[in-house]
A and B are shown apart, each in its own frame.
Chain A
Amino acid sequence: MKLLTKILILFVFVTLFQWVRSSRMDPLFFKFEQLETLETQIKEQKSILFFGDSVLSTSHGSDADPRGIATLLEEGSGCSVGAIQHAGFDSEMFYPFAKVIKHSSFFPKAVIVPINLRSFSSQWTGRPAYQMMEKKYLAYLNAQGTPWQNVLKVAYRPLLVFKGFELFQNSEETYQRENVYFGEKQVGSVADFEDRETFQTLSDETLKKKLIYHYLYSLKPEHPKLIALTQLSKLLQNDTRVIAYVTPIDWETGEKYWPGEFKKRVAENIEVIRQSVQGINIVFEDLAFSLDAKHFGWDENKYPNEHLRENGRKFLSQFLKKTLEKENIGCESNPATSRELSGGHDER
């Protein structure tokens, strides 16, 4: 028998074996922590699902009350709130989560989606640890109810052992070479802005540099995370109330080091985001400039970010509570929405 035929037979045998094996594997093998949390919260029929990154729960050393935003919102609104968060999560990760919700049998009353402006920056977008190809793959795998789900299952383990996910994400070397922009002007590469020695300090010079790196890019409508945000919004707009808000940033520090420039550029970027979700039936709130410097706790990290002190987290939870009230989303008078209760049809 020709060699190629023998190899093909071997390939078919191995594939069939893997097909049978993967179909009998513990479903937990195809999940990860946050996906399990989401599925648990759907199962528990949480009224509000709150996607988030580290801003959701990071506290400051000086806080008397270290509770996160989701916990404060739950306390203030009386609704059950389920948080699904991870330090590097953004709209590209929230979108497959939205698919999981879409293909489940339960819709929460609201899904809260923070839009972190730093997630569109070079600091975040190409960072290998934040690309999360494997997690996205697993989220899609668990969201699909089609025959492709079995193919994804069969392919998962080979992709894992042969580092297939790394093929589709940046290497550290590639990431370090990515361009950093100040508006439209390229001002260096990631390596120039990630000098560890420099970034241990909080000098004026390094702060100016960090602010460019995190916030002063020029956002384009075709940015993948923006596209993911619009896809997520369109996916869920008819089934639940999507509340998307731009995360507060320390604009005071920004204006201190880039007077007249900082707010202007950030506002332009927010306008691009606003335009991208225009016409979609979601609530969009811009909270970028809503808090002054004393609400932020990034000094402990030595680089400007969106981590909030206690007063900042309380403000945000109060704001979201009022938004829920404005949208008539309450938990005592309005029962949870369920496909089964309403006899809703499958809108996949």
Chain B
Amino acid sequence: MNHDPFQKISQAPTRPHAAATPSRFDVADLYRGPVAGDAAAAAAAPALDEKLRQAYFWIVNRAIISPHYDIEYHAGPPRSHMVGDTRRTLTLPSAQSYSSFVLLPLLAFAARRKCLFIGGPGRGKTASAVLMGVLAGIPVREVRRAMQHGHPQMTVADLLGNPLPADLLNARRLDEIRIAWRAWLPMRVKIVDEYNRIPTRTQSALLTLMGDNYAEQLDQVFECPESAWYLTANDDQGGGTYPVIEALRDRIDVTVQALAFNPRFLDELLLRIEDDIRPEELVPRELVFSEAEIDAMGAAIRAVSVPVPVRRRLEFFASQFELCETAGAQFEYLSKDTARLAGVPLRELGAADNGRDRLADLGCQSLNGISVRQLGTLLVFAKALAWFRGNPEVDLEDLRQVLPFVLRDKLQPDPEAPFFAEAGNTALRSDRISWLRLLFDLASAEYERLDLDRRDEVGEMAATLARGLDGLGERETAARIVRIEKLVAERVKGRKLYGHLADDLLMLKYLHQRYTNYLAWLRAR
């Protein structure tokens, strides 16, 4: 019996639910207990979400010394304390809370997504990435050898592989040249250390790999399996030796910061030094996930439902940021992206934008909007967090907690925005996580104020269309068109154009167009 503390996995449920009394008692429970010696009575392999939680707690308790609970959940009102001259709030969460530095990479592991670790040197970024590789069943030595280390002389061949010299000499056609592909390409966990030190040309090859899952050299293609990616960088501003191309930065799904080590935990560090312990070499076998298990986790995550009220709040939040009324003339081009593509600084356009409440309008705080890729990533990670917590559907708090980490490097704050000049908001210029969470809270508050859960005529019209057009006659189609036109007239009457209104009007235009085309088809029959 192994009593190595690093092999110890909690046998207690990691996410106990209240009043989970079994509906039928199993006499085999007689032999289940604290002693693990009875293999026949040992609990069946835990459910995958329980296994992932066990992996989380093992990492937090045994591997990475990171006792930060910055992803806070509350079962009731938490205790909060104000401290310091700036009256910062210390909250004591009243429900199971998590460390983002451990949780988000684990969720990326489960959903096979791409996670960027940022932080100063020596803070455990690479060590965390290696742990993820070991959890996937790759021997730690192979994980370390397969890790790609970014450096200024890194070539595409270094990253992907080399053509066989003999083939180069003898081949008469390009397809006769075989490529000795690098061993890391088929791995299900891929690690790139210091990715911001990779030269630009090689970054493009990395982009193809990350974005399209294949590697190409001399017209030879290597198809890679779906993988979880872990990249590290000392900063996320694209600094390093080479600027990181925007498309590559955009492929990263979630960014987590390695938080400062709390010296009160020095005894843990001392124990590892004295016992020569490397946690990545001590991952319990029971916590290693097979490929089939990771596939199953992905399927289970995708099956988690997103309730309509949660989805609507995300829609409302996302609609706040893209609109730039002075960026275009046609309605569809009234976006910050239009200005960016034309090379017109947003500041110039903002000066011409009169009448808008630049403090209340959340869109004024950002330089860009949220892309569809980012929305998809948000949904995946919200589902993953709900699944991790053992819930069948996404809670609004799940969305609120993952959102800052998904959008951290995506939604760019406008440092010139009046919001950041307000007293108490200066720190939000540097604390992106808190800023993004506050944005979501403000959007949710506005959503509640507008009572959009109960008053969503646009949503009702969209739902009506979604039920289909089969059997819909001319009269009813015409009536629906009229209703849409009336709603548009009502919505545009004397109002300032804010993001959510613009999106509602575009949705109404879409519905109008669908019915118009259908009516024309009916009449042409």
Q: Do A and B come from one complex?
A: no
- Chain B residues within 8 Å of A, Cβ to Cβ: none
